[in-house]
Amino acid sequence: MSKRSGDHTGTRIQEQRRLARLTQRVLADRIPYSYSWLTQVECGARPASVDFTAAVARALRIDVTVLTGQPYVTQLQEDRLAELVRPIREAMDLYDLGDDPLVTTRTVAELLAAAEELCALVRATRLHAAAAALPDVITELTVLCWRTLTTELWQALASAYRTAHDITVKLGFYDLATVALDRLGWAAERAGDQRLAAMRQYFRGLVYFREGEYRIGLRLVRSGHGLLGLDGSSRAALTVAGQLHLGGSVLAARAGEADLAAEHIAQAREHAQRVGDASKLHWLNFSPVNVSLHEMSVAMELRRYDEALRQAKAIRLPTTVATSRRAHFYIDRARVELELGRGEASLKSMMAARRSAPEQTRYHPWARETIRGLVHLSRRAPEPLRAMATWIGM
């Protein structure tokens, strides 16, 4: 096992707790977890779940990434992804400088197609290809928007910013992802597109989901529904509204509000029955299958692991499900199986996630904590687990 194995979320929690001059007893009193749970996480005997890490970060008033260790720079450098982040940052920073006569752009049709292709690459978890192509698309669309000021171009630019958000989140650059959401809102306002503005609230809600501020996340979900207004009955608007309900369901579950989570799932299911598979509308993956996937996630977040596993076993993913969503499902299932002490099944789910989306899985903090938990659970880690641990950076 790598020398890096001693560097994990538990040790970072311990370090930050000591910097805050708190004892384990005092910190445990400030989070909805027991003293025993905290001590096990700190010493590496128990994986740090996402909700646990968020609760500790909130109690210590620090960013979650301080505890998760994101971005995972060593792996990013190994995969030659780190070098692609700065051009994205620079392209987004030019948003308000107007036209640049030195920039030669592709045609409008070519750029619209390029923006769509970027969304497809992210769904297929081809992060390297998407990150490499993104800066030029953002730069050219920005210049062209200032030259022609058409709604269609502003919408395409908003889509490119959304892609920037998706890539930077998957790679662990959450500060840059927040900038991308600000730019998305800026472009959506100029496009006069309330659906894009509502989508932004959904993504903003997920920011607070990661940070453990579930009430704020739920407020953003409600705000997103309000932005849809009179347009709420169109197929596109129902798709965005359905996705907002899915976001609301997991936020409510994390907040311990089971009834509210169930209400959001019911509303999302009703919308999905009306629109069918709308996964390519705004590239939101919204469909009846995605509702079932979120229902499983709700059970997991409520720590109803037996129920979550039962639902996971009943889910049959069609070939049309995006690769990114497929991998996310396997990572969630692996977490549930680990909680139930089913180490062999959990490892199989993690291996399925890796086969589906290796780049996404390698940089997913839940995947890392699950692998760490499996290593601890195994008296003698089998070769496939050792290989997974090494690959993921342990």
Q: Is the dihedral of CA 195, 246, 89, 137 positive or negative?
A: negative
For residue 2, name the pLDDT band (cuts at 50, 70, 90).
very low
For 128-148, what is the mean pLDDT?
96
Q: Which of the pair, 264 or 64, is modelled with greater confidence?
A: 264
How confident is the model over 81-117, as pLDDT tens digits?
Answer: 999 999 999 999 999 999 999 999 999 999 999 999 9
SS (H, E, C) the chain: CCHHHHCCHHHHHHHHHHHCCCCHHHHHHHCCCCHHHHHHHHHCCCCCCHHHHHHHHHHHCCCHHHHHCCCCHHHHHHCCCHHHHHHHHHHHCCCCCCCCCCCCCCCHHHHHHHHHHHHHHHHCCCHHHHHHHHHHHHHHHHHHHHHHCCHHHHHHHHHHHHHHHHHHHHHCCHHHHHHHHHHHHHHHHHHCCHHHHHHHHHHHHHHHHHHCCHHHHHHHHHHHHHHHHHHHHCHHHHHHHHHHHHHHHHHHHHCCCHHHHHHHHHHHHHHHHHHCCECCCCCCCECHHHHHHHHHHHHHHCCCHHHHHHHHHHCCCCCCCCHHHHHHHHHHHHHHHHHCCCHHHHHHHHHHHHHHCHHHHHCCHHHHHHHHHHHHHCCCCCHHHHHHHHHHCC
pLDDT band at 279 (very low <50, low <70, confident <90, very high): confident
Kindly report which listed range (24-28, 36-40, 42-46, 356-360) carries the lowest average pLDDT score.
42-46
Confidence of residue 3 (pLDDT cuts 50, 70, 90): very low
Residue pair 214/189 in contact (Cβ under 8 Å)? The answer is: no
Q: What pLDDT score does 6 carry?
A: 62
Supply the DSSP symbol for 3.
G
pLDDT, average across residues 129-145: 97
Mean pLDDT of the chain: 93
Q: What is the pLDDT of residue 232?
A: 59
Q: What is the pLDDT of residue 230?
A: 61
Give the pair of three-digit tokens for residue 128: 């390297």
The residue among 381 and 235 whose pLDDT is bigger is 235
What's residue 133's pLDDT? 98
Is the model's pLDDT at 308 over the cut of 90?
yes
Least trusted range by pLDDT, from 4-8, 109-113, 158-162, 309-313: 4-8
pLDDT of residue 231: 63
pLDDT band at 1 (very low <50, low <70, confident <90, very high): very low
**Structure confidence at residue 281 (pLDDT):** 87
Q: Enumerate helices (H) and strands (E) in the chain, giving the number of each.
A: 22, 0
User: Which residues, 6 or more positions from 86, have their beta carbon under 8 angstroms from its beta carbon?
Assistant: none
pLDDT at 31 over 90: yes
End-to-end CA distance of the chain: 7
Q: What pLDDT score was predicted for residue 345?
A: 96
Whether the per-residue pLDDT at 47 is higher than 70: the answer is: yes
- Condensed to tens digits (0 to 9), the pLDDT of residues 184-243 reads 999 999 999 999 999 999 999 999 999 889 999 999 999 999 999 766 578 999 999 999
Longest dimension (CA), the chain: 65
Q: Is the pLDDT of residue 371 over 60?
A: yes
Q: How far apart are CA 105 and CA 191, in angstroms?
A: 20
Secondary structure class of 260 (helix, strand, coil) = helix
Please report the domains of the chain, with CATH numbers, ordered by start residue: 1-69 (1.10.260.40), 325-394 (no CATH)
